Structure 1
Amino acid sequence: MIANYKYSYYFYTFLIILICTLLIKADLSLSISYKEALNVFVNNSILTIITNTSMYFFGQNDIALRLPFILFYFFSVILMYKITDNYFKNEKDRLLSIIIFMLLPGVLSASLLVNSAIIVIFCTLLYLYYFQKYNKQSYLLLILFLFVDNSFAILYLALFFFSIKNKDKKLLYFSSIFFIISMYIYGFSTDGKPKGFLVDTVAVYATIFSPILFLYFIYAIYRAGIKNEKSLSWYISFTALLLSIIISFRQKVYIEDFAPYVVISIPLMIKTFLHSYRVRLREFRKIYNILAISIILMLTINVILTFVNKPLYMFLPNPTKHFVYQYHFVKELSEELKKRNIDGIISDNDELLLRLRFYNIHEGDKYYISTKEFYNYDEKITIKYYGRELFVVYLKKIK
């Protein structure tokens, strides 16, 4: 019992430190992207409602923009911790599982960005927690999910397969109905010419998990399947993974729709690994030790790059190839404009205008700004990271 309290203390301490780090990252290191600005000012979606509600109470700033998604991350981790109670024999195994879930590149980055992925993760874990606690389906949650995101069609499809296995006619009927309604509301994209994107899909999954972790994850899912150890979370993850691979043979897959359902089976993967490790004699554990060290090393590198990635600009010949380029520079640009007492501009770059609007630089007729050099500009404003010029705009006073 004392050991359990000790590991719980470790978990909550680590979680609090991580949440504080995410808040600092949101405030100091990120600028609003164009897609995020669309969700704030233009679109009419669940993301629009969430971000505008947060900004209504906390002001129009970067923390208010990203706080709801950090909170969804926080409660997702708590739910995962609750779900894995009694799942592992040893409490330290449970702690290891939850830490890996917390530090997954895809999960961690989703907590900082205005996107539906972390919301879907939270909702799915909430559903699993209800199912585990009460041993029944929550049809109320399934109805609510219809209005949250299009990707819940994947959950309904997984529940359909799960109902067949358990001969649950009620779930079979309702999951079928919900799936049809979801497809009717949101549709299914079949744009473009048929083209294979399997390699791209696997590459993105490898980025979300880290390459070695993803390969072992596939093995864990496969092993649970052939050994008939198919839990509800297995059905959800397997359905999402298989469906994304099948679709990628024909068209590009939006991984944000599938990844939230795949990452929830991390505890299954950890349990599989630890079981395989412990049933072997010490002299036959070498490959597992190498595998574990490699996974921990990659996760550590990914976490560091999530929080400290600006130095990468010093080594990239093309700054636009930086994986978070679209989340940089605009906040600094708005500060430079405000130093010049400029709060209204016009531009040939509508995306830049919308992003600057978040930082209270509105459309006006006194100054013209462009990312392209033009004749007789008055001033060149350069944004630098670590002494390197990375983002340049040209300013002209009109009136």
Structure 2
Amino acid sequence: MITNNKYKYYFYSSLLVLTFILLFKATYTLSISYKEALNVFVNNSVLSLITNISIYILGQNDLALRLPFILFYTFSIIIMYKITENYFRYEKDRYISIIVFMLLPGVLSASLLVNSAIVVTFFTLLYLYYYHKYNKHSYLLLLLFLFIDNSFAILYLALFFYSLKNKDTKLLYISLFLFTLSMYIYGFSTGGKPRGFLVDTFGIYATIFSPFLFLYFIYTMYRSWIKNDTTLIWYISITALLLSMLFSFRQRIYIEDFAPFVVISLPYMLKTFFHAYRVRLKEFRTKYNILAFLVILMLSINVILTFVNKPLYLILPNPNKHFVYQYHFIKELVEELHKRNIHSVVTDDYELALRLKFYHIERGEDYFLTLKNYDYPSERISIKYYGKEVFVAYLIKIK
């Protein structure tokens, strides 16, 4: 690879700026969702442990809630940058690849939410970095993954298929054992009435990558297969993709289990793109220029909507349809309660009560807060963004 130190400077500068933006977003614009509140107060999992340790150290606030996942995101980007060393011929290509990875809708949004996706992404990249650096598998990491998240069963299965190709007996037995053990510990839900969600899954992947990038992902996976150019990352990504598609024929999948293993293939995709682009004369690069423009356009729109999305309420007839509605309005509701010198309420909505608890609104007996308009004297609390009403609650004084 032809190196240029200025791109290293560009990379760390870009990462630093983006990290500060994420910290600002986490601190001032997002409220805790019901599922996130469950991880703080109810669930017992690695995710709960991570969030509660952060809250114990930094206090019960939004920054403490989301900081661990922003850090997982930052370290994931750095590890990906290390993995791609000597992978591209030009340092410029490497920089473009890592910037696109940083701005992938699925990766960027996962950094702001309390979910397992960015945690799984980090540890998967850590495993791949070890393999890249030492050219051997870290069985200690593979064992550790068993206690982190159930989705690592997909990685074990991918390693099993990879070991068959490479006739690696040790990896074959260990990956098969860990896969079996993971299935025994966590199981896999196959209940419910069979329904097809294949189209929904394709749509989610298109959102995670951006539509045109996802189509190119499918092309590169197929191209690698017919050319017999299947690497470890290829096995991991294709196993996750095919499993998610297979399960989608019966049920709606939990995309966080599969997406981390799919997005890690991005550098290979872009390496394929740059190679195909440069071997063609300028007059034959039109379709590649169009593809690049569309990908950049979609990623730009995603970044804007990730950081500035509240104005969308102005054009949505139903505020509930906003894609991050569940992460809004609670902090504003707490501010309205504080203006009235109210620090405890009773409510008939368990989800609302759990979210309020995070902001130190405990259960009390003097006020009743409800989302229903009962035929009883009450005070209407309206939360508005840009003049558009997005949330309404009713406050009733009991004592």
TM-score by length of 2: 0.99
For 1:24-43, list aligned pairs within 5 A: 24-43=24-43
1:91 aligns to 2:91 (yes or no): yes
Give SS of 1:70's match. Answer: helix
Whether 1:218 aligns to 2:218 is: yes
Residues 368, 397 of structure 1: 8 Å contact kept = yes
Match of 1:151 in 2: 151
**SS state of the match for residue 392, structure 2?**
strand
**Aligned residue number for residue 309 of structure 2:** 309
Amino acid at match of 1:104: L
SS of the equivalent of 1:194 reads coil
CA distance in 2, matches of 1:243, 1:3: 38
Q: How far apart, CA to CA, are the structure 2 residues paired with 1:274 and 1:139?
A: 34
Contact preservation (8 Å) 1:127, 1:138: yes
Q: Match of 2:265, SS?
A: helix
> One-letter code of the match for 2:180?
I
Q: Which residue of 1 aligns with 2:61?
A: 61
> Counterpart of 2:390 in 1: which secondary structure?
strand
**Percent of paired sites with the same residue:** 71
Aligned residue for 2:329? Answer: 329
> Alpha-carbon deviations, 1:156-184, whole Å to 9, x = none?
00000010111110000000000000000
Whether the 8 Å contact between 1:377 and 1:394 is mirrored in structure 2 is no
Hey, what's the Cα distance between the residues in 1 that align with 2:172 and 2:358? 46
How big is the shift at 1:74? Answer: 0.3
Aligned length: 399
What secondary structure is seen at the aligned counterpart in 2 of 1:342? coil
Matched, 1:50 2:50: yes
Partner of 1:21: 21
CA contact (8 A) 2:2 2:89 kept: no
Does the CA contact (< 8 Å) of 2:197 and 2:251 recur in 1? yes
Paired residue type of 1:275: H
Which amino acid letter does the alignment assign opposite residue 136 of structure 2? K
Letter in 1 for 2:132: Q
CA distance in 2, matches of 1:104, 1:377: 49
Supply the distance in 2 between the matched residues of 1:69 and 1:239 (Cα, whole angstroms).
25
Matched residue type, 2:43: N
Deviations 1:243-299 (A, max 9, x none): 111111121111110000000000011011111111111111111111100000000
In structure 1, the partner of 2:201 is 201
User: Which letter does structure 1 place at the counterpart of 2:17?
Assistant: I
Report the AA paired with residue 118 of structure 2. Answer: I
CA distance in 2, matches of 1:2, 1:204: 37
> What's the secondary structure of 2:230's corresponding residue?
coil
C-alpha contact 2:22 2:112 (8 A) present in aligned 1: yes
Q: Does 1:319 align with 2:319?
A: yes
Provide the residue aligned with 2:266 in structure 1.
266
Unmatched tracts of structure 2, length 5 or more: none
Which residue identity does 1:229 align to in structure 2?
D
CA distance in 2, matches of 1:362, 1:281: 67
Aligned equivalent of 2:128: 128
Q: Residues 101-152 of structure 1, C-alpha deviation per residue, up to 9 Å, x if partnerless?
A: 0000000000000000000000000000001111111111011100100000
Residue type at the aligned position of 2:159: L
Distance in 1 between the 2:97 and 2:377 partners? 56
Residues 203-254 of structure 1 show CA distances to partners (whole Å, capped at 9, x for unaligned) of 0000000111100011011111211111111110010001111111121111
Q: Distance in 2 between matches of 1:355 and 1:200?
A: 29
- The DSSP-based 3-state class of the residue aligned with 1:395 is strand
Secondary structure, in 3 states, of the residue corresponding to 1:364?
strand
Alignment of 1:1-399 (within 5 A): 4-399=4-399
| Runs of 5+ unmatched residues, structure 1 | none
The 3-state SS of whatever aligns with 1:390 is strand
Letter aligned with residue 130 of structure 1: Y
- Cα distance in 2 for partners of 1:313, 1:251 equals 31
Between the aligned partners of 2:70 and 2:280, the Cα distance in structure 1 is 40
How big is the alpha-carbon RMSD for the aligned residues of Structure 1 and Structure 2?
A: 1.0
Partner Cα separation in structure 1 for residue 2 and residue 336 of structure 2 = 55
1:2 deviation in Å?
10
- 2:162 and 2:83 mapped to 1: Cα distance? 19
Is the contact made by 1:383 and 1:392 (CA closer than 8 Å) also made in structure 2? yes
- Map Cα deviations across residues 15-51 of structure 1 (whole Å, 9 max, x no partner): 0000000000001110000000000000000111000
Letter in 2 for 1:185: I
1:53-99 per-residue CA deviation (whole Å, 9 max, x = no partner) reads 00111110000000000000000000000000000000000000000
Q: CA deviation at 1:377?
A: 3.0
State the alpha-carbon separation in 1 of the partners of residues 336 and 140 from structure 2.
50
TM-score of the two chains, using structure 1 as the length reference: 0.99
Look up the SS of the partner of 1:88 in the other structure: coil
3-state DSSP of counterpart to 1:77: helix
Give SS of 1:76's match. Answer: helix
Name the SS of the counterpart of 1:196 in structure 2: coil
